[in-house]
């Protein structure tokens, strides 16, 4: 039987605020344990939560970025469960009335001829607080609790079960990861847990409508692990069903060492959270004016920028897509163009040499040793014919290594293209004189011989002659 996998994602994005969602304690990462755990984080009796304006703004930004409905009135609810890193005995979250409603995002899957686009529907996004951290092994038989993270604002973004392969799920997660950083609501740091994905996976016979029983893979914090975990889980479910077994709804964990998923010990009645509206918090009202204010502060979104790159600069769809994959890349490209570079050449250099170098050295584009204006000054020398494309590559390498600016490197390495027609004519004359056979062959109608002669002339000029001029002069001399 042919099977179809159905995947939905829940992503916890940590919002980039200075303070916690319901208190004025700092959210800085990596501080000494419990030094950022105030009375609210500790849930001491009598304390009350007060909502952080900035966290609400982040939620509105996200809603605008995915064309979602932003609720004029949303409600905070208590999600009740007992765990030592949650001292209140409940997590403040949103349940029936989330701040962000239905929206959508377009993802690009695959590369080359097989690449395709797909719309992923967002069910909702809601504000909630993070829990603290348990540290094991501090003392025999005991667990240590650090409540610095307790109360950190999260936006949980939930999709419809719209993805049909691990590749689609990863493409969505990457796109979301890019987007939340683009609009500046999350730093995207997956090692520090700022962006964590739970993936719901189920399988069903291809062509059927009814969803299979799902298992939820918890807390994936790398795209590579996500791909591996989904592939393993999908195969496991298909094999189980083909062997006549059934799938039990469960929460599973991925073990990166074995590449396997395994069910967590099922906590009895774990899913009975008994949500109810939190009486400590009033409904959150968001007016049209609030939304307009945030809208005015929003950066140009990747989709809009992509369309602009295609229309304004004549870039191909694929190139425009690649350049808008992150805001840093897009900013770099735009700065290069604004510094006077031809847009198509800038696109080729940014996606080619620059990105290859960054990949090889595992650097972010913001850390590129070649600034956009450096790159523009190099491209301008290609545009005005000072250097050939090949020489430009050498100049680029030297600039990357910090040997100076484009002009000084062209000068010191003697890479300037010879465009003086007198000098080129002299070279061409020598080449014609020294290569009788080729000249004869060409005159006899062998086109290839012409290219060979151009090659000889280029070689004689040590690669510095302007190839277009060599072509032209050679043609004239041979009477072609």
The residues that touch another protein, with contacts defined as CB under 8 A, are 17-19, 23-26, 32-39, 42, 44, 50-56, 73, 75, 80, 82-84, 89, 96-97, 134-136, 138-139, 141-147, 264-265, 269, 272, 274, 277, 279, 281-285
Pick 77 or 170: Cβ nearer another protein: 77
Pick 151 or 302: Cβ nearer another protein: 151
Pick 142 or 307: Cβ nearer another protein: 142
Distance CA 416, CA 393 (A): 13
Pick 55 or 427: Cβ nearer another protein: 55
440, 446 Cβ separation under 8 angstroms: no
Work out how close the CB of 118 gets to another protein at its nearest, in angstroms, rounded to a whole number. 35
Work out how close the CB of 186 gets to another protein at its nearest, in angstroms, rounded to a whole number. 15
Pick 89 or 245: Cβ nearer another protein: 89
Distance CA 86, CA 151 (A): 9
Pick 24 or 256: Cβ nearer another protein: 24
Work out how close the CB of 16 gets to another protein at its nearest, in angstroms, rounded to a whole number. 10
Going by the DSSP 8-state scheme, the letter that residue 66 receives in this structure is T
Pick 151 or 212: Cβ nearer another protein: 151
Work out how close the CB of 57 gets to another protein at its nearest, in angstroms, rounded to a whole number. 9
**H-helix or E-strand spanning residue 400:** helix 389-400
**What length is written for the chain?**
480
Work out how close the CB of 54 gets to another protein at its nearest, in angstroms, rounded to a whole number. 4
Pick 264 or 304: Cβ nearer another protein: 264
3-state secondary structure of 191: coil
Distance CA 67, CA 70 (A): 9
Distance CA 444, CA 331 (A): 55
Going by the DSSP 8-state scheme, the letter that residue 316 receives in this structure is -
Work out how close the CB of 21 gets to another protein at its nearest, in angstroms, rounded to a whole number. 10
472, 428 Cβ separation under 8 angstroms: no
Structure-token pair, residue 252 = 């599973």
All residues at 6 or more sequence positions from 403 whose CB lies less than 8 Å from its CB, including other chains: 409
Work out how close the CB of 30 gets to another protein at its nearest, in angstroms, rounded to a whole number. 13
Distance CA 183, CA 16 (A): 11
203, 213 Cβ separation under 8 angstroms: no
For 48, other C-beta atoms within 10 Å of its C-beta total: 10
322, 306 Cβ separation under 8 angstroms: no
Work out how close the CB of 138 gets to another protein at its nearest, in angstroms, rounded to a whole number. 6
Pick 52 or 324: Cβ nearer another protein: 52
Pick 218 or 308: Cβ nearer another protein: 218
Distance CA 382, CA 394 (A): 12
Distance CA 94, CA 156 (A): 10
Sign of CA dihedral 146, 148, 150, 154: negative
Work out how close the CB of 127 gets to another protein at its nearest, in angstroms, rounded to a whole number. 11
For 170, other C-beta atoms within 10 Å of its C-beta total: 22
Work out how close the CB of 348 gets to another protein at its nearest, in angstroms, rounded to a whole number. 42
Q: At what angle do helices 389-400 and 372-383 cross, to 10 degrees?
A: 160
């Amino acid at each position: 039987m042919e099977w179809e996998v159905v995947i939905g994602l829940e992503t916890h994005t940590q919002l980039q605020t200075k303070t916690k969602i319901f208190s004025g304690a700092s959210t800085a990462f990596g501080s000494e344990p419990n030094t950022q755990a105030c009375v609210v984080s500790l849930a001491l009796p009598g304390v009350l939560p007060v909502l952080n304006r900035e966290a609400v703004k982040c939620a509105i930004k996200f809603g605008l970025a995915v064309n979602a409905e932003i609720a004029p009135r949303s409600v905070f609810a208590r999600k009740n469960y007992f765990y030592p890193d949650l001292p209140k005995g409940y997590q403040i979250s949103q349940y029936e009335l989330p701040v962000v409603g239905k929206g959508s995002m377009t993802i690009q899957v695959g590369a080359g001829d097989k690449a395709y686009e797909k719309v992923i529907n967002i069910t909702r996004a809601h504000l909630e607080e993070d829990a603290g951290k348990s540290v094991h092994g501090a003392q025999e038989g005991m667990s240590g609790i650090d409540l610095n993270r307790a109360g950190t604002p999260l936006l949980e973004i939930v999709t419809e079960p719209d993805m049909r392969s691990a590749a689609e799920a990863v493409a969505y997660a990457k796109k979301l990861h890019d987007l939340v950083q683009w609009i500046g609501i999350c730093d995207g740091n997956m090692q520090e847990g700022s962006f964590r994905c739970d993936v719901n996976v189920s399988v069903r016979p291809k062509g059927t409508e009814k969803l299979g029983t799902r298992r939820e893979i918890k807390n994936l914090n790398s795209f590579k692990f996500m791909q591996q975990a989904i592939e393993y889980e999908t195969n496991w479910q298909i094999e189980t069903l083909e062997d006549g077994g059934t799938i039990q709804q469960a929460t599973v964990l991925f073990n990166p060492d074995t590449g396997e998923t395994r069910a967590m010990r099922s906590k009895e009645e774990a899913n009975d959270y008994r949500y109810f509206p939190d009486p400590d918090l009033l409904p959150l009202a968001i007016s049209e004016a609030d939304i307009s204010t945030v809208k005015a502060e929003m950066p140009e979104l990747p989709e809009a920028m992509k369309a602009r790159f295609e229309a304004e600069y004549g870039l191909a769809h694929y190139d425009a897509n690649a350049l808008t994959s992150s805001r840093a890349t897009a900013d770099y490209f735009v700065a290069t163009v604004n510094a006077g570079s031809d847009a198509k050449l800038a696109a080729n250099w940014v996606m080619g040499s620059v990105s290859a170098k960054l990949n090889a050295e595992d650097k972010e584009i913001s850390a590129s040793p070649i600034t956009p204006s450096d790159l523009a000054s190099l491209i301008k020398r290609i545009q005005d014919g000072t250097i050939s494309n090949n020489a430009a590559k050498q100049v680029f390498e030297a600039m990357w290594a910090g040997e100076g600016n484009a002009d000084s490197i062209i000068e010191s390495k003697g890479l300037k293209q010879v465009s003086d027609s007198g000098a080129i004519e002299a070279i061409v004359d020598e080449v014609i004189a020294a290569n009788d056979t080729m000249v004869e062959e060409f005159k006899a109608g062998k086109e290839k011989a012409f290219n060979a002669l151009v090659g000889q002339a280029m070689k004689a000029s040590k690669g510095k002659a302007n190839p277009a001029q060599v072509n032209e002069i050679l043609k004239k001399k041979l009477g072609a």
